[in-house]
Structure 1
Amino acid sequence: MNALKELSIRAESESPIIVRDIIKPGVLKISKGKTVQEAARLMAEKNMGAIVVTENEEPVGIVTERDFVKKIVSVGKDPEHTKVEDIMSSPIITVQTTTPVFEVIDLLVENNIRRVVIKEDDKLYGVLSQTDLIGNMSEQCIVDGIDRFAKPKRKHDLKLGFTYFIEGVKKSYDVLVEHVTSGKEGLIITTENPDKIRAKYDLKRTPFLWLTNIKAWNTINPKDLKLLGDSVDNFLGVAKNGVLLLDGLHELISSNSKEEIIDFLRELRKKVSKSSSTLLITINSEDDDEYYVMKSL
């Protein structure tokens, strides 16, 4: 059973998760005739990553931080003289607060989009993103329980806030499994099919982020370091005494430049150092690129 079907079954149970369960009311909006500069100022003031574009108070588009980078910064446009309607993504998909979450996931995957606009009856309610969903499902997995909870004596002691490079995939999972089965909260970032890993290590509840070009609710394109970083932030913000395993360094390096990955991992280690979690990174020291990245950190 793949992760999307698994989530759909959970959402269609007796107590289905609906949009209102996972998002608080609050939406940033701007008229389509306003400038990109004005939109950027509003987003910065409210610390929000997206703004809904309206016409006569009806949502007609959406502008995100990614749009600023791709459609303004990278092409040298002047945000003060560019209107938001010129860079907005349109048309948008709108759902109600009572919509089951599994339906929203299907919409995101089928339409290859990252966000939907939420309404409550006829009023704007908020914006729900792929990152919100991944973070919520990570939290749900933590709240639901921990794999095979017990407290045996551990062979590998991990210090909170530390990063460990572990040689070899098997050893990495041995360390992770030892800790999640003794009560720690876990998150696995991997290039392998999560269903196979779940079966191999009997990890029924530990959440996964799958680095792949396949589109599903828990997948992330390895080139999308922003989404990956946001998803990890969600886990670090929720987990207490957590263990994060990154088993996909080679794929990240192949999909980005080594310098980008070094910067990404430096920032990740900094965030982990201020958290109550531990970071494990699988390393193959015979891989020149992986070894270079590790030595550069």
Structure 2
Amino acid sequence: MTSVAQVLKSKPDAATVYTIAASDSVFDAVKLMAEKQIGALVVIENEAIVGIITERDYARKVVLLDRASKVTAVRDIMSRAVRFVRLDETTEDCMALMTERRMRHLPVIDQDRLVGMVSIGDLVKNIIAEQQFTIQQLEHYITGERP
């Protein structure tokens, strides 16, 4: 089973976790997500994680409610109950949590410090790679070829 630590190592920008202040505008958050081609930001206040803001939060709590993103603070629409995972948890643990809670992003914590973010896309990519490896091994076994 693959661990969260292994998934993070496979990401080209694993060491970079994008954050935003709770007092920043939603416009700034969406702009940063667009620039970095990501779907969520961890919200930080006084170096503590206080929430997470996602594209879904923006769509449902700004666009649909006809709010102005430039004057709405991140704290007004962020999700406060932040679910997270640790480095030693498995991809299966992450998938189960994401499915149960209907989430697409999980911050990764190590010794109470934010060290990464895994998305549903990261997990799917990892599962596909594992399946391809298994298929190759089975093909080699069936044909008698050595890898």
Q: TM-score, normalised by structure 1?
A: 0.42
Structure 1 match to 2:43: 53
Name the structure 2 match of 1:19: 4
CA distance in 2, matches of 1:129, 1:29: 15
Higher relative contact order (CA 8 A, sep 6+): 2
Determine helix, strand or coil for the equivalent of 2:61: helix
- Corresponding residue for residue 139 of structure 1: 129
Report the Cα distance in structure 1 between the residues aligned to 2:138 and 2:127, rounded to whole angstroms.
19
Counterpart residue type for residue 34 of structure 1: D
The aligned runs of 1:133-212 (5 Å cut-off) are 133-146=123-136, 149=139
Residue 112 of structure 1 corresponds to: 102
Identity rate, percent: 32
- More off after superposition, 107-116 vs 43-52: 107-116
Partner Cα separation in structure 2 for residue 106 and residue 34 of structure 1:
32
Aligned to 2:70: 80
Gaps of 5+ in 1: 1-10, 12-16, 151-297
Within the candidate set 23, 39, 43, 1:33 is matched to 23
- Are residues 124 and 76 of structure 1, via their aligned partners in 2, closer, same or farther at CA, if it must alter by over 3 Å? same
CA RMSD across the alignment: 2.3
| Deviation, structure 1 residue 43 | 1.6
Residue deviations 1:103-141 (CA, integer Å, cap 9, x gap):
222322333322221112232112212222112101211
**Which one has the largest radius of gyration?**
1
CA 1:45 to 1:113, structure 2 compared with 1: closer, same or farther past 3 Å? Answer: closer
Query: Paired residue for 2:52?
Result: 62
Counterpart CA distance in 2 for 1:101 and 1:85 is 30
Report the equivalent of 1:96: 86
